[in-house]
Amino acid sequence: MKIAILPGDGIGPEIMAEAVKVLNALDLRLETETAAVGGAAYESHGHPLPEHTLNLAKAADAVLFGAVGDWKYDTLERALRPEQAILGLRKHLGLFANFRPAICYEQLTHASSLKPELVAGLDILIIRELTGDIYFGQPRGRRIAVDGHFPGAEEAFDTMRYSRPEVERIAHVAFQAARKRRGKVTSVDKANVLETFQFWKDVVTQVHAEYPDVQLDHMYVDNAAMQLVKAPKSFDVIVTGNMFGDILSDEAAMLTGSIGMLPSASLDKAGKGLYEPSHGSAPDIAGKGVANPLATILSAAMMLRYSLHQPEAADRIESAVQAVLSAGLRTGDIWSEGTQRVGTREMGDAVVSALHGKAGTATKTITKS
């Protein structure tokens, strides 16, 4: 099995090093090949997604991706910005189904900005359509307006659009995922205003006829944003478009106390996938050895489960992460009084020790508050 390792920018290389360490500790026959992506690739190859990197990602059985982006590239023309790498990979690999779980670990209930009783035991799954919508819709650009409020003025425009097959396939993914969970799908739209999302709602409703065992609700996106902070546990699977999914998934991630804990998977129609932490490249803490590697380590677990058909190995990683949390080890983003603050590398080492049945020697030094 061949894995393309794309560390990227900011904290990407540091967190990726820990995930690779954990994968190597599993004694699976995994072949890894690393390539540049994002700002790092722009520096070395003049493009955020060099052909070599794209070809490696296409040829591999799965892609493990760190993070891309840095403010210093904000003035580059759009096609050369680091974000184009992840958008290009999604498009060229056909990764239309993005799974973003928001799970509140029992050990971290108090790290959430919401009251503990609202988030304790939270386990929701956002399924975001990832290759359509206003992100990729054509036409887009700048022009001189011929109509609207200011004819003759400069304007910019993007196109929101979804075709029937695009909505159908993501709806199937959501209903099938719900069957393996608590059997409930909330389709999030803006059908009260947007034609695209009235169509989305109609198509999701039609696909639902094939899944009578799954409960389907519809919710407007503004209300969904509100319900996520009011009663997050009322959701099971949320399915939505690319743009709304981008926004709601960050909101949902934060409910759990740390975006540094959340993995994600982006799958094509055959189950091949790209796996990445839900957080970004955090250039402000890059190179300091303090970033939380657990989201990337858990992304590697998701990769083993979904694309490499190694569920036992995935379980082992997830149990090891639970063990280090129970042992009280915390990176700065999830640290609280009475737990032990560790760096990126120590956290990775602790997960490797826990894989071998040693749940972290650091417990002894925890001071109880």
Counting contacts by CB under 6 A, is residue 158 touching ligand IPM?
no
What is the token pair recorded at 74?
A: 């904000």
Helix (H) or strand (E) holding 7: strand 2-8
Counting contacts by CB under 6 A, is residue 318 touching ligand IPM?
no
Do 32 and 1 meet the contact criterion of CB atoms below 8 Å apart?
Answer: no
Catalytic residue among 42, 70, 190, 349: 190
Q: Near ligand IPM by CB under 6 A, which window of 80-88, 163-171, 253-261, 295-303?
A: 80-88
DSSP state of 110: G
Binding-site size for ligand IPM (CB under 6 A) equals 4
Pattern of binders to ligand IPM over 230-259, x per CB under 6 A? ----------------x-------------
In the complex with ligand IPM, the residue whose CB is nearer, 61 or 83, is 83
Greatest Cα pair distance, the chain, in angstroms, is 71
Counting contacts by CB under 6 A, is residue 86 touching ligand IPM?
yes
Q: Has 250 been annotated as catalytic?
A: yes
In the complex with ligand IPM, the residue whose CB is nearer, 87 or 191, is 87
What is the token pair recorded at 94?
A: 């056909």
What is the token pair recorded at 52?
A: 């070599």
The least distance separating ligand IPM from the CB of residue 365, rounded to whole angstroms, comes to 37
Q: Has 135 been annotated as catalytic?
A: yes
What is the token pair recorded at 147?
A: 């109509």
Catalytic residue among 42, 73, 105, 135: 135
Distance CA 334, CA 57 (A): 32
Catalytic residue among 222, 230, 269, 358: 222
Interface pick for ligand IPM out of 1, 17, 76, 87 (rule CB under 6 A): 87
What is the token pair recorded at 179?
A: 């069957």
Q: Has 72 been annotated as catalytic?
A: no
Interface pick for Mg ion out of 83, 158, 246, 268 (rule CB under 5 A): 246
As a three-state string, the secondary structure of 115-163 is CHHHHCCCEEEEEEECCCHHHCCCCCEEEECCCCCCCCCEEEECCCCCC
Q: What is the helix, strand, coil percentage profile of the chain, to 5?
A: 45, 20, 35
**Which residues lie near ligand IPM (CB under 6 A)?**
83, 86-87, 246
Active site residues: 135, 190, 222, 246, 250
